[in-house]
Each structure stands twice: as structure tokens, then as C-alpha cells.
Structure 1
């Protein structure tokens, strides 16, 4: 499933690059769906879940950015100094926050618990 996911992701991004709107928009669904399935399947492993959630958020941000360019609202101001494409920062930052939480809070906690368990 992970390998097929990469194929869909590449097709989505190549379509974006080549401005093949129908294929690019179509590829959002399987790319995002498989990423969500992978995240769900790894939910019992905190490290994998955190990274896979970050990927889901990355694909979401990337897809929104692609849509904003395809439909020409990427440069439209939605607030002072903020364009349509800047809104993709919301899921990008959310992904960064998921990983920051994992590396700054969860992983050190796991390491401490492992050290206590080995004593």
C-alpha cells in the first residue's frame, strides 16, 4: 500500500507541475485516502502515527496549494498580506506541530520509560 501511495503522490505532483488539472484533482483522493489508511493502521505505534499524520497534513496542504493554483486564487488576497496559497500553511504548520510534539514531548517520555524499565 505504501508503494502505491507513492505512485499516486507522484502522479498528483507531476499533474500539478504540468498543469493537468483533471488528473491532479483526481489524484488527491487516492493519495490522501491511502495516507489516512496508513496513519490509521499505524495508530498503535506513536512514532509511526506522528509521522504518518504529518504526511496526511502535508498532502492536504500540498493539495490545497495545487487547487489554489489550478483555480487561480493562489495570489488573491484573503487578508492583508495573506494570499489563497498562504492558507496552505495551516496544515503545513499543523504537521510540524505534530512532529514537534512527538520529538520534544513523546519521544523523551518514551526514552525515560525505557531507562526506568531496564533498571
Structure 2
């Protein structure tokens, strides 16, 4: 399933790069669906959950950015100096914060729990 996920993701980004709107847009759904399914299947493993959630948000941000360019609102000012494309930072940063939480909070807790368990 992960390999199929990569294929869809590559097709989406090739569609974006080549400005093949139907290909790029049609690959959003299968790419996100498989990413969500992988995330659901790994939900009981904290490290996998964090990384797969970050990937879901990355694909979401990437897809939004692609759509903003295809639809022509990527350079439209939304608020102050923020353009339509900049709104992709919301899911990008969400994924980043999930990983920061995992590495700064969750993983150290897991390491401490392992150390206590081996004593």
C-alpha cells in the first residue's frame, strides 16, 4: 500500500509540475485516502502515528498549494502580505508541530519508561 501511495503522490506532483490540472487534482483523493488509511493502521505506534499524521498534513498542504496555483489565487492577498499560497503553511506547520511534539515530549517519555522498565 505504501508503494501505491508513492505512485499516486508522484503522479499528483507531476501533474502539478507539468500543469496537467486533471491529473494533479484527480490524484489528491487517492493520495490522501491511502495516507489516512496508513495513518489509521499505525495509530497504536506513537512514532508511526506522528510521522504518518505529518505526511497527511504535508499532502494536504501540498494539494492546497497546487490548487491555489491552478485556480490562480496563489498570489491573491488574503490579509496583509499573506497570499492564498501562504495559507498552505497552516497544514505544513500542523505537521511540523506534531513531529516536534513527538520528538520533544512523547519520545523522551517513551525512553524514560523503557529505562524504568529495564531496572
TM-score of the aligned structures, taking structure 2 as reference length: 1.00
Say whether residues 1:54 and 2:61 are aligned partners. Answer: no
Mapped partners of 2:96, 2:44: distance in 1: 20
Q: Unmatched 5+ residue regions in structure 1?
A: none
Aligned counterpart, 1:103:
103
CA distances 1:38-94 after superposition (whole Å, capped 9, x unpaired): 000000000000000000000000000000000000000000000000000000000
Mapped partners of 2:49, 2:113: distance in 1: 19
Aligned counterpart, 2:116:
116
Aligned counterpart, 2:91:
91
Mapped partners of 2:64, 2:29: distance in 1: 12
- Across the aligned residues of Structure 1 and Structure 2, the Cα RMSD in angstroms comes to 0.2
> What count of residue pairs does the alignment treat as equivalent?
119
Q: How far 1:15 sits from its partner (Å)? A: 0.4
Aligned counterpart, 2:38:
38
CA distances 1:9-32 after superposition (whole Å, capped 9, x unpaired): 000000000000011000000000
Other structure's SS at 1:78 match: strand
TM-score of the aligned structures, taking structure 1 as reference length: 1.00
Q: Unmatched 5+ residue regions in structure 2?
A: none
